Chains A and B, each alone.
Chain A
């Protein structure tokens, strides 16, 4: 008979815990403490993947290495050339922005991370990354890879964090069509295919297949003008009030392991001293933004941009008023990646030069 009482007690206890977890946030501390217990399990579960990467790195033939080196060199050359173009665009954009007195949108530090697990729940699309509170991660930070926006941190554990991908059906991303400037909310699809859908877009809107969607930065979460997805289908159903628009995320959701975390933009002043002591963060900003009009030679700007982001991570926090425009910041992002053994974003180079055009 005591069995019934016990199960009833535990059911009530569970319901209370669940209610408290939804409503209040003092259980976050319990979660956090239990995270210390579960961290080794994640570490062990990730071992096969790490070993296979290690084997890939170690047992590779000399000729393969040479070939890879060759292709990386070519990509670097290509990226450098794009960067030269970018610098020109950056200075022009900066001048225009200065005219408009608009504030800069993307800058801050990035932290490289690795995806070590994916959610075992078929109903949600989340991944676990190997950075947590110990590395200065906070809930709400944006996760990027070299090709596009991936998601945002929803739960921080001591050594790991859960990231909700933009393809999760509970995630909405504020986006903007790069070509026309039209804004929309991109929601993760409910179906089996990991894609996103634009919600409540009127039939008259100017969106066609192939359009690039960039983040609009309106939610104050994601960097402005970072590529998000490419429109794959536009259906105008006369029976529906809104058009049905689907898009394929540009980030390599299921193929990449190496990702970047972007620092929260709003709390920069408070967070900066803490992160200064954490050596993993990399500065991604234009080093010294030249005065508007002075920078006519793109090459000097590129040199200045190259030198600083790669040097070290523990340089002091960015001055809050250094204006850097998104295109330049992306250029710097792309540039800092080789230092962290990340693939050079060849697609990014195609995308970035268009970015300033979209917001004019």
Chain B
């Protein structure tokens, strides 16, 4: 009964920080390398607390990201919901993985996320670029994942989020 408060605000705080990092201005040459912070934070929480943060949560987060990006409403929402679905169906295995294996999965998932948003933008006439440099964001995300994972795990244990 003493665990009545389960520190949900920590999760919201990490998402707010992820949103901030997602829109902080980058120099032109580094735009393609921007790590997908929101996807990574979402993957972590969906993996650690699959019964608390699911597809609906991811969808709402994606909707907010759409507003922040000024992109089509529902575009990031759809992509993040798919990411959440994959994470939820893999979460038992993901927890057993070493951090290198997890990075590989994050690489695939953020790559899929970038690809999906790119396809949708092209379908909706919101983008015309045809090169694949935008996938570099997945690489930087996978590179940062081990550190982010440790950080978020410390936060989850320290604040006993459950």
What is A's interface to B at a CB cutoff of 8 Å? Answer: 3, 6-7, 10-11, 13-18, 20-22, 27, 30-31, 34-35, 37-38, 41-42, 44-45, 48-49, 117-124, 126, 128, 155, 157, 162, 169-170, 190, 194, 254
Contacts and interface: CB of A to CB of B under 8 A. Distances in A.
A3 B88 contact: yes
Interface string B6-46: 00000000001001101111101001101000000000000
Interface stretch (B75-83, B104-112, B139-147, B150-158): B75-83
A119 B55 CA distance: 26
Contacts of B128: 123, 169-170, 190
B149 interface: no
Contacts of A121: 31, 69, 71, 121, 127
Given A14-B77, A34-B64, A123 B129 contact: yes
Majority SS at the chain B contact face: helix
Contacts, number: 121
Interface in B42-82: 54-56, 59, 63-64, 67-75, 77-78, 81-82
Majority SS at the chain A contact face: helix
B142 to A, nearest CB: 18
12 contacts: A6-B55, A6-B85, A7-B82, A10-B55, A11-B78, A37-B67, A38-B64, A45-B23, A117-B23, A119-B70, A122-B31, A124-B126
Given A6-B85, A126-B70, 5 more contacts: A18-B74, A18-B120, A21-B72, A38-B64, A123-B134
A302 B85 CA distance: 67
A55 B19 CA distance: 26
A13 B88 contact: no
Sorted from nearest, which 3 A-B pairs have the closest CB atoms? A14-B78, A17-B74, A123-B127
Given A3-B85, A10-B78, A128 B73 contact: no
Contacts of A45: 20, 23-25
B124 interface: yes
Nearest to A34: B67
Nearest to B68: A38
Contacts of B88: 3
Q: How large is the interface on B (under 10, 10 to 19, 20 to 34, 35 or more residues)?
A: 35 or more
B69 A11 contact: no
B89 A122 contact: no
Given A18-B74, A124-B127, A190-B128, A10 B25 contact: no
B73 A21 contact: yes
A16 B85 CA distance: 19
B32 A7 contact: no
Contact of B75 (A18, A117, A254): A18
Contacts of B118: 123
B113 to A, nearest CB: 13
Contacts of B72: 18, 21-22
